[in-house]
């Protein structure tokens, strides 16, 4: 099993800085969700991201995967090696270039990805269940507002 990374330090940011607090809270929420999924599925966040990209597309060269994930090619090589050893992806010869290989998800890889996605949704639903429906709607609306129009003026919202 993959070692579980300890939770980030719970040193609350200095009072009076909403930007720091927002970043800290979002980071904690994401870290908790990733840890929860990893404990149940044994898939690190970087392997999960790679498996998601591979499973949702045609077989691809590692250089394309590195570009899609915005990482250096040598990082992709070790991640693909790990996923291949676990039976979640396979390397195939590229029919258009005998020197190249393509990376494709295996049936087991697709099954593990589906399980990880179920766990991620379950975790999110558990978090949201702590809020009443109106609070859930407000939270999601405000997050969309921040993410969908990051350059918007204060008080503006494209989704309103």
Query: Residue 68 is part of a domain; what is its CATH number?
Result: 1.10.10.10
φ/ψ of 88, rounded to 5, equals -95, -25
Place 92 in a pLDDT band, splitting at 50, 70 and 90: very high
**At residue 110, does pLDDT exceed 50?**
yes
Identify whether 18 is part of a domain.
Answer: no
Residues 148 and 24: their CA atoms lie apart, in Å, by 20
- Residue span of the structural domain in which 118 resides: 34-142
Please give the DSSP secondary-structure letter assigned to residue 60: B
Identify whether 8 is part of a domain.
Answer: no
Identify whether 1 is part of a domain.
Answer: no
Residues 119 and 81: their CA atoms lie apart, in Å, by 24
Element spanning 69, H or E: helix 62-69
Tokens coding 127: 């978090």
Residues 86 and 115: their CA atoms lie apart, in Å, by 15
Number of domains comprising the chain: 1
pTM: 0.73
Identify whether 14 is part of a domain.
Answer: no
pLDDT at residue 36, rounded to an integer: 82
> Using one digit for the tens of pLDDT, what is the confidence trace for 36-89?
888 888 888 889 999 999 999 899 999 999 999 999 988 999 999 999 999 999
Average predicted confidence (pLDDT) for the chain? 85
Identify whether 67 is part of a domain.
Answer: yes
Identify whether 5 is part of a domain.
Answer: no
Nearest one of 9, 35, 38 to 24, comparing CA atoms: 9
Identify whether 39 is part of a domain.
Answer: yes
Identify whether 158 is part of a domain.
Answer: no
pLDDT at residue 104, rounded to an integer: 97
């Amino acid at each position: 099993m993959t070692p579980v990374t300890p939770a980030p330090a719970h040193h609350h940011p200095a009072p009076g800085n909403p930007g720091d607090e927002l970043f800290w809270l979002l980071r904690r929420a994401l870290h908790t969700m990733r840890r929860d999924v990893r404990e149940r599925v044994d898939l690190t966040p970087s392997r999960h991201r790679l498996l998601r990209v591979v499973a949702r597309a045609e077989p691809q060269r590692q250089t394309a995967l590195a570009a899609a994930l915005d990482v250096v090619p040598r990082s992709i090589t070790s991640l693909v090696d790990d996923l291949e050893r676990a039976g979640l992806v396979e390397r195939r010869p590229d029919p258009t270039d005998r020197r190249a290989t393509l990376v494709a998800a295996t049936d087991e890889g697709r099954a593990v990805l589906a399980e990880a996605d179920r766990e991620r949704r379950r975790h999110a639903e558990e978090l949201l269940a702590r809020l009443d429906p109106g609070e859930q709607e407000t939270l999601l609306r405000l997050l969309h507002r921040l993410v969908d129009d990051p350059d918007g003026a204060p008080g503006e919202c494209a989704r309103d």
